[in-house]
Structure 1
């Protein structure tokens, strides 16, 4: 039965003319992708081009920064704050967070360490707010991460496949300080003059994390372009919603990704 999720349907339809079919296991969630004698499990929109270690590293904001720093790639600093209730906790995360807050001119971003789509993300400008927000994250049984706040109007997202940039988009803040499209940011075209620099940075970041199919988010800061995070799942539903030309671009990217996955079998 075809999925009724528009974005997932777009992905599945991208390889319709290549003879690929999808056998439903769990509606709108788990599918078996089949082409001739080859098949693989497709989990949500995940096509399985990334190994599990790479995917888990990308899910951690602080882990991603540590890897990028190791490879000397410009990135927005993220410091890990382990939940104080964890049996593995060996330091006071509130103390670490307060020190970082003061060192960062009392303006930081606090978020869950493995978050996505702007959920549980706080802009912090006071110690009281820092303590309250960090406690709120810990109460949700989450670890956290803290980073400097940058006054950046634009954030760029680059989709890479096997180390090659495939799609570029820019997100402009509007009513919110966040760059998430789901939170109201505006999707615009990337200036042509930035494409070479963004592409090189995205290639380096994807290679550092050993991600074969991902999105690389890059922030334009007063210190130049810096990698903010990498996403092991390529989610572009808000980008291409109600836009035929963008849907064609996303479809092309996913077609190549799905065929690349079959070529690994």
Structure 2
């Protein structure tokens, strides 16, 4: 296998090789074509193709996810959508900045400003002043067409649940090294959660979220604020690179289970 190849790609290669499935990797590993007989399946990014288009779009949109979960009565961290002025006055609301300032005034502990789509914690900013808000919005809108604002909350724990058709394949806590973020790309360490009350609670909340969005294969970030667990985000692309460096067998099994569903 090529040096530096993603664990996601390695897992798909291994799965196909063991089952006699032709596997072609292109676009620097971001597009994978799997062919068996007359069947052809695709993986793109970290998506194996199990989720329908609507579930995929909602899960990749932080504000839409929060709206759907709130509508279903599921406790979640709210995310408010703001569109880039680049989209024009007929799309982006004219009073966006005042509305952003309204949220800043509403939450005395500050707000978190982030791209509305995307993962890995890039361009995620904690904002406490008007100047910080303007800087964060400018940075995000320079590269994205939308952003989301959520209230800053003191997160005691963050747990990622990987679910396939309601069954947990991996459940692990993000143990942060420093900073206020739990992002794995910023040094947080994945620690498998042992069986018990906390694990059961996280899985239960994650299942409710996937049922609401009607998504089959996803990673759900669940956070503990005070004594309650709530959903932070849902991701349609299931990325387990950090976990795979510590527990490759578990990650390979998880992707294999999803691919079994793809080819069944």
Considering the TM-score relative to the shorter chain, is it more than 0.5?
Answer: yes
Q: CA deviation at 1:221?
A: 0.6
Between the aligned partners of 2:140 and 2:26, the Cα distance in structure 1 is 34
Counterpart selection for 2:205 from 185, 191, 201: 201
Query: Which residue pairs with 2:63 in the alignment?
Result: 62
Counterpart selection for 2:216 from 190, 212, 218: 212
Whether the 8 Å CA contact 2:115–2:144 is kept in 1: the answer is no
Query: Which residue pairs with 2:230 in the alignment?
Result: 226
Deviates more, 1:44-53 or 1:184-193: 184-193
- After TM superposition, the structure 1 = structure 2 runs for residues 149-188 of structure 1, keeping only pairs within 5 Å, are 149-188=152-191
- After TM superposition, the structure 1 = structure 2 runs for residues 1-265 of structure 1, keeping only pairs within 5 Å, are 4=3, 5-7=5-7, 8-87=9-88, 88-191=91-194, 192-222=196-226, 224-241=228-245, 243=246, 246-263=247-264
Between the aligned partners of 1:112 and 1:140, the Cα distance in structure 2 is 9
Deviates more, 1:22-31 or 1:253-262: 22-31
Q: CA deviation at 1:248?
A: 0.6
Deviates more, 1:60-69 or 1:136-145: 136-145
- Classify the secondary structure of the residue corresponding to 1:123: strand
Deviations 1:199-218 (A, max 9, x none): 11111111111111110001
Whether the 8 Å CA contact 2:79–2:150 is kept in 1: the answer is yes
Whether the 8 Å CA contact 1:75–1:228 is kept in 2: the answer is yes
* Residues 196 and 15 of structure 1: CA distance in aligned 2, closer, same or farther (over 3 Å): farther
Deviations 1:68-120 (A, max 9, x none): 00111110011111223322023421111111111111411100111210111
- Classify the secondary structure of the residue corresponding to 1:152: coil
Between the aligned partners of 1:256 and 1:34, the Cα distance in structure 2 is 18
Q: CA deviation at 1:16?
A: 3.3
Q: Which runs of 4+ in 1 moved over 4 A?
A: none
Deviates more, 1:68-77 or 1:31-40: 31-40
Whether the 8 Å CA contact 1:153–1:172 is kept in 2: the answer is no
Whether the 8 Å CA contact 1:22–1:32 is kept in 2: the answer is yes
Deviates more, 1:205-214 or 1:33-42: 33-42
- Classify the secondary structure of the residue corresponding to 1:151: coil
Between the aligned partners of 1:24 and 1:114, the Cα distance in structure 2 is 25
Whether the 8 Å CA contact 1:32–1:39 is kept in 2: the answer is yes
TM-score for the superposition, normalised by structure 1 = 0.91
TM-score for the superposition, normalised by structure 2 = 0.91
- Classify the secondary structure of the residue corresponding to 1:49: coil
Pairwise CA RMSD: 1.8
Uncovered stretches (5+) of structure 2, i.e. residues with no partner: none
